[in-house]
Amino acid sequence: MANGARTFQVRVLAGGDPLREERLTRSLRDELAELEGVSVGFSSGAASSRGSKAGPLTDLVLAVAVLASSKPLAGVLTTAITEWCARERHRKVRVTRGDAELEITGSPDADQRQLVREFLEEPEPDA
């Protein structure tokens, strides 16, 4: 990920269906990759016990980095994730930053959108 960027982990929650989770995660990754100033890739997750005949799947977690100096980009990221979730009311995404996490659903109301925006724009804690 980019140096000096704010990073988030993004996981699509698909109710335990690994194929649906993989399809939706790749869809979200492709959409976020189109955003200028945002770097997205798969996080190095450990192999899970979920699997198929081909063997265990790797946990599908996206690592998303937003340029630290571009505060408006957090709003763009917020909009992209909430709009992606809103396409199907059953979509759910968990965004994690450090010890804090937030879930975004497929039918976010105005209060949830504001909460997501505040979460993504909140300054990094001093290390």
- Check residue 58 and give its pLDDT: 54
Q: What is the pTM of this model?
A: 0.77
- Check residue 27 and give its pLDDT: 95
Residue ranges of domains in the chain: 5-121
Residue-wise pLDDT tens for the chain (127 aa)? 445 678 889 999 998 899 999 999 999 999 999 988 888 998 865 444 444 444 444 568 999 888 755 556 667 887 888 889 988 888 999 999 888 898 888 777 788 778 877 887 776 655 4
Fold classification of 5-121 is Alpha-Beta Plaits (3.30.70)
SS3 assignment, position 41: strand
Which residue has 């505060």 as its token pair? 71
